[in-house]
A and B are shown apart, each in its own frame.
Chain A
């Protein structure tokens, strides 16, 4: 509750929080199928209608309702973004803590593996994984999750290393606390703040990567809706039906903006050192 109050007391946090809240609502409605029309039903007599009372955001080439597809697409994008970031957070935290706690050879080996993954351009690594496993929602989740795991590993390992050298960890050892107790209670709990900021910012990147993969035809597969796919489909029709490009484009942009604003606010709130110079 305290963190929510802090977010809503922060200028950009308030705007980001409202945007993310609205998107979450739209995503849930989209996932539950509570859309104005069925997102995959083709109303062939109503093809390429401009926005009107019946179709708030118009219809596409097959007569499908753009607003309903947008809602389903937001649901799809958020599902991929949340699960992929959860994957990366979990994997990155375990690996980062293991590298910091076990140290020496384990640290070296784990961090070199992370270096290998980081040396790959993110979108190419995701493309390769998706091509290997075949496009689809869960493939995108795993691909984006793997791409962002090294970043979380680094975010956790650095502070974990410095926490490990602190007196309270030595004290816990002296009192006979087990390694798992120290790692979970003393290290992990102290890493919640940087991880929360990273998770929020990673959600913005994950939305961007999911949209990029779908744009290239390697994410969500038709006839299911996805914002990137809708945008890609709009390319040949942008002059005759610009709404097909404008609405999904804005939807992607505003969702990323929401998470970026929220991430910035959280950084200000949770990391007082940054407060002096908010960017």
Chain B
């Protein structure tokens, strides 16, 4: 409990740091948001019109006033107005987040469903040809960037089968589940492939470690079946590194997969931030980065708490 409180107490401090960093960084981008928003039409604005637009978006004030107002707004659940969308930042984030979350969950399901059995199989066939095969595929998987795999998938589909991935307007899960899945399955495989490779490697390594422990040898000598030794005795203890890796990876995926979203033309959080940076949409970049950082910290905390659930001997926060 103490550990949980101490960790939670560091959240505001880290978020404050993230907020200052993103606030300063985005304002150092050359150009201004009104010109970026209106393009060549910005030249047609009279100084008075430009001033009133700047006042509307709150970017007419000195930096420290803007920062103070932004922080004050956050405490009241108001992340500001997006210059690009002309809507509250929180609404824009909430609209984009389900896709990112769904993509992260699907990728993790693929990674765990493929990676864990492969890792366990390799560990139980240690140093055999099949183990070598799994390790080779995992190493290649881990070395394949998502954008290379994504393009290869699109090329194979279009050249080999004459079909293209389902793109077009994104269908939310609750409106059209089938179309939604057809739009997300390939991006999820693209992201899940390298993720599965990492899970395979870490599961294999953790299982090998556990399988050579004394208690597993004892279980074997007492006549426990091979299946029972693996699933009941070894696996629960081999899960900790898998949970750590999956949690960290999942936390990163919640920040949006910029490149994969770009390849498959998906309106996720990552692409939104990329566009917002290029549009100098200060409020949207600031709000989104803070949201992503918060999610990342929460996921990391949950991973730590999962350790305790998996291994009650672990006492968090103790040296």
| Contact residues of B between 194 and 221, Cβ < 8 Å to A | 201-202, 204-206, 208-209, 212
Please determine whether A261 and B159 come into contact, CB atoms closer than 8 angstroms. Answer: no
Residues of B within 8 A of A215 (CB): 147, 259
Contact pick for A112, options B10, B155, B262, CB 8 Å = B10
Interface centre among A215, A254, A279 (most CB of B within 10 A): A279
Task: Provide the bound-state CA to CA distance between A122 and B273, in Å.
Answer: 13
Q: Quick one: closest B residue to A209, CB to CB?
A: B145
| Contact residues of B between 279 and 308, Cβ < 8 Å to A | 285, 289, 292-293, 296-297
Please determine whether B151 and A231 come into contact, CB atoms closer than 8 angstroms. Answer: yes
Please determine whether B292 and A124 come into contact, CB atoms closer than 8 angstroms. Answer: yes
Residues of A within 8 A of B15 (CB): 119
Contact pick for B152, options A115, A249, A257, CB 8 Å = A249
- Separation in Å of the A208 CB from the closest CB of chain B? 5
Please determine whether B209 and A277 come into contact, CB atoms closer than 8 angstroms. Answer: yes
Residues of B within 8 A of A3 (CB): none
Indicate whether A272 reaches chain B with its CB closer than 8 angstroms. Answer: no
| Contact residues of A between 220 and 234, Cβ < 8 Å to B | 228, 231, 234
Please determine whether B292 and A211 come into contact, CB atoms closer than 8 angstroms. Answer: no
Residues of B within 8 A of A231 (CB): 147-148, 151
Please determine whether B139 and A276 come into contact, CB atoms closer than 8 angstroms. Answer: no
Indicate whether A91 reaches chain B with its CB closer than 8 angstroms. Answer: no
Task: Provide the bound-state CA to CA distance between A254 and B292, in Å.
Answer: 32
Please determine whether A119 and B14 come into contact, CB atoms closer than 8 angstroms. Answer: yes
Task: Provide the bound-state CA to CA distance between A189 and B299, in Å.
Answer: 36
Question: A-facing mask of B107-147, CB < 8 A → 1, else 0?
Answer: 00000000000000000000000000001001110111101
Q: Quick one: closest A residue to B135, CB to CB?
A: A279
Please determine whether B17 and A276 come into contact, CB atoms closer than 8 angstroms. Answer: no
Given known pairs A112-B10, A234-B151, A245-B155, the reply for A257 and B139 (CB within 8 Å) is: yes
Residues of A within 8 A of B29 (CB): 131-132
Please determine whether B205 and A277 come into contact, CB atoms closer than 8 angstroms. Answer: yes
Residues of B within 8 A of A131 (CB): 29, 277-278
Please determine whether A235 and B151 come into contact, CB atoms closer than 8 angstroms. Answer: yes
Please determine whether A112 and B212 come into contact, CB atoms closer than 8 angstroms. Answer: no
Contact pick for A239, options B158, B205, B262, B285, CB 8 Å = B158
The interface-forming segment of B20-28, B66-74, B177-185, B310-318 is B20-28
The interface-forming segment of B53-61, B227-235, B250-258 is B250-258
Task: Provide the bound-state CA to CA distance between A240 and B215, in Å.
Answer: 60
Indicate whether B37 reaches chain A with its CB closer than 8 angstroms. Answer: no
Residues of A within 8 A of B205 (CB): 277-279
Contact pick for B159, options A12, A235, A239, CB 8 Å = A239
Residues of A within 8 A of B252 (CB): 121-122
Contact pick for B145, options A12, A129, A132, A212, CB 8 Å = A212
Indicate whether A22 reaches chain B with its CB closer than 8 angstroms. Answer: no
Contact pick for B143, options A113, A238, A253, CB 8 Å = A253
Task: Provide the bound-state CA to CA distance between A60 and B216, in Å.
Answer: 59
Indicate whether A260 reaches chain B with its CB closer than 8 angstroms. Answer: yes
Residues of A within 8 A of B201 (CB): 279
Question: B-facing mask of A120-151, CB < 8 A → 1, else 0?
Answer: 11111001110110100000000000000000
Indicate whether A100 reaches chain B with its CB closer than 8 angstroms. Answer: no
Indicate whether B30 reaches chain A with its CB closer than 8 angstroms. Answer: yes
Interface centre among A116, A132, A260 (most CB of B within 10 A): A116
Given known pairs A120-B289, A123-B258, A279-B202, the reply for A115 and B10 (CB within 8 Å) is: yes
Q: Quick one: closest B residue to A122, CB to CB?
A: B252
Contact pick for B258, options A113, A127, A260, A264, CB 8 Å = A127
Residues of A within 8 A of B138 (CB): 279
Q: Quick one: closest A residue to B198, CB to CB?
A: A279
Indicate whether B38 reaches chain A with its CB closer than 8 angstroms. Answer: no
Task: Provide the bound-state CA to CA distance between A171 and B231, in Å.
Answer: 49
Task: Provide the bound-state CA to CA distance between A83 and B140, in Å.
Answer: 25
Indicate whether B4 reaches chain A with its CB closer than 8 angstroms. Answer: no
- Separation in Å of the A61 CB from the closest CB of chain B? 16
Indicate whether A102 reaches chain B with its CB closer than 8 angstroms. Answer: no
Indicate whether B13 reaches chain A with its CB closer than 8 angstroms. Answer: yes
Apart from A115-B10, A124-B292, list 19 A-B contacts with CB within 8 A.
Answer: A120-B18, A121-B252, A121-B296, A123-B258, A128-B26, A212-B147, A215-B147, A231-B148, A238-B154, A239-B159, A249-B152, A253-B140, A256-B145, A260-B139, A260-B143, A261-B139, A277-B204, A279-B138, A279-B204
Q: 13 pairs across A/B with beta carbons < 8 Å?
A: A117-B21, A119-B18, A121-B270, A121-B292, A132-B28, A212-B147, A212-B258, A239-B155, A249-B148, A256-B144, A277-B205, A277-B209, A279-B138
Hey, which bits of chain A sit against chain B, CB under 8 A? Answer: 12, 112-113, 115-117, 119-124, 127-129, 131-132, 134, 204, 208, 211-212, 215-216, 228, 231, 234-235, 238-239, 242, 245, 249, 252-254, 256-257, 260-261, 264, 276-279
Hey, which bits of chain B sit against chain A, CB under 8 A? Answer: 10, 13-15, 17-18, 21-22, 25-26, 28-30, 135, 138-140, 142-145, 147-148, 151-152, 154-155, 158-159, 201-202, 204-206, 208-209, 212, 252, 255-256, 258-259, 262-263, 270, 273-274, 277-278, 285, 289, 292-293, 296-297
